[in-house]
Amino acid sequence: MTAMQKKQNKIIREQLDDTLSHFSSIVSVNRPVKGWIRAIRDALGMNMRQFANRLGVSKSRIPRIEQDEITGSLTLKTMNRVADTLDCVFVYGFVPRTSLNDTVRKQALVVTQKRMNRLMHTMRLEAQGLSSKNTKKAFKNMVEETIDSPSILWEKDQ
């Protein structure tokens, strides 16, 4: 990966982090016990027959739709149709627990620690151990190299 590509990846992560940070406040919003569909339908005063007619499905399908939302088995396509029917916008996305840069750095630390352990073991076998100061410096450099090497960052056996 070229220096330009590394810089672009970092910029992309930072821009996406900035965009996604706007959603961090909704992470703590809990879904109503009976689900969003039922809560909004009830708040609008729309009974199942009326909702079914507006959605273009049978009345018997409505309890299933509402239950499937709760269990997580309702398709995105149906969620969009239902939202539109309720004059809502269906919002779908991922909100990082911290930031994408933090996730990458955390993974780089894990990968680097494994690599460093193997390296230090080999060096000890060859009586070529590093001083504590040099070990820390090498570790820091390896973390930065790992961050810039997505090809090894997410490999399972690293």
Other residues' Cβ atoms within 10 Å of the Cβ of residue 37: 25
Q: Report residue 4 CA to chain centroid gap.
A: 26
Cα dist from 24 to 38, 95, 96, 97, 106, whole Å: 25, 6, 8, 8, 20
pTM reported for the whole predicted model? 0.73
Whether 17 contacts 96, CB under 8 Å:
yes
Cα dist from 117 to 84, 139, 148, whole Å: 55, 10, 20
Express each pLDDT in 122-145 by its tens digit: 666 556 666 678 778 888 988 988
Is residue 107's pLDDT more than 70? yes
Cβ burial of 147 (10 Å; 0-12, 13-18, 19+) is: buried
For range 50-78, the mean pLDDT: 97
pLDDT of residue 153: 86
Express each pLDDT in 17-62 by its tens digit: 999 988 888 888 999 999 999 999 999 999 999 999 999 999 999 9
Q: Which of 136, 100, 96, 102 is nearest to 116 (CA)?
A: 136
Domains and CATH numbers, the chain: 24-85 (1.10.260), 97-153 (no CATH)
pLDDT of residue 31: 93
pLDDT of residue 151: 79
